[in-house]
């Protein structure tokens, strides 16, 4: 078999020469280890995508682990531009929900989930989870994409770099301009290396 000298990318990710593929390209350990939740959101999202396991490329699947602190730890409102999500609660009690599109009158669907429950978040819709229990909670998420992506609503809007004009946001959110500027300062401060560890790769 002949291999050419140029690289091949699929879904934006490099494809290894099949002759050079190793078992470790399909393997990852440590997914059972709880992650720290002592941060502003009280949660820690660990994702296993094609970036963590090269062998996931083109397979259309990914996995996530979410650890929640007691009494309100949350996976803040966000959406995945390239995947639907199936959430399984392994421990604890979560309040979860998603909001439909403007065309569907922004209907809100929510549920309280307990250990063993499963909930679906449709592709591209804003959703969240909050631990309403008094003990730590753990959930596992599966995605129908090897690279689902994540856009956290508040951080994206108020923590953009450079910042969005505060007058535009004040009008859109019906807030005082000073409130918008305060939010922008908070989120820009959080967009530091420490903050990005909240949503970490294994």
**Percentage, residues of the chain above pLDDT 90:** 80
Residues near 109 by beta carbon (within 8 Å), at least 6 away in sequence: 97, 98, 99, 100
Q: Is 100 helix (H, G, I), strand (E, B) or coil?
A: coil
Report helix, strand or coil for 54.
Answer: helix
| Beta pairing, strands 8-10 & 94-99 | unpaired
Does pLDDT of 198 surpass 80?
no
Please write the tens of the pLDDT for every residue from 6-54.
Answer: 566 666 677 788 888 999 999 999 999 999 999 999 999 999 999 999 9
CB atoms within 10 A of CB 148: 22
For 39-48, write each residue's pLDDT tens digit: 999 999 999 9
pLDDT(3) > 60: no
- In this predicted structure, the answer to whether residue 119 has a pLDDT above a threshold of 70 is yes
Helix/strand/coil percentages in the chain, nearest 5 = 20, 35, 45
Identify the band that residue 131 occupies on the pLDDT scale cut at 50, 70 and 90.
very high
Q: 61 is written with which tokens? A: 């699947």
List Cα–Cα distances, 2 to 5, 6, 163, in angstroms: 10, 12, 50
pTM value surpassing 0.75: yes
pLDDT (tens digit per residue) in 51-70: 999 999 889 999 999 999 99
């Amino acid at each position: 078999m002949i291999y050419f000298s140029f690289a091949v990318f699929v879904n934006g990710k490099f494809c290894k020469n099949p002759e050079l593929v190793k078992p470790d390209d399909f393997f990852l350990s440590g997914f059972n280890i709880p992650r720290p939740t002592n941060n502003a959101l009280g949660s820690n999202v660990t994702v296993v995508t094609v970036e963590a396991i090269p062998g996931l490329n083109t397979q259309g699947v990914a996995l996530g682990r979410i650890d929640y602190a007691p009494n309100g730890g949350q996976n803040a409102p966000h959406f995945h531009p390239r995947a639907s999500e199936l959430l399984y609660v392994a421990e604890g009690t979560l309040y979860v929900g998603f909001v439909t599109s403007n065309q569907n009158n922004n209907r809100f669907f929510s549920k309280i989930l307990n250990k063993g429950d499963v909930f679906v978040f449709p592709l591209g819709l804003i959703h969240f989870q909050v631990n309403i229990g008094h003990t730590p909670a753990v959930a596992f998420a599966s995605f129908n994409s090897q690279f689902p992506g994540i856009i956290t609503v508040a951080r994206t809007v108020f923590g953009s770099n450079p910042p969005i004009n505060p007058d535009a946001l004040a009008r859109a959110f019906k807030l005082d301009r000073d409130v918008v500027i305060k939010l922008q300062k908070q989120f820009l401060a959080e967009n530091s290396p420490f903050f990005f560890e909240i949503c970490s790769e294994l």
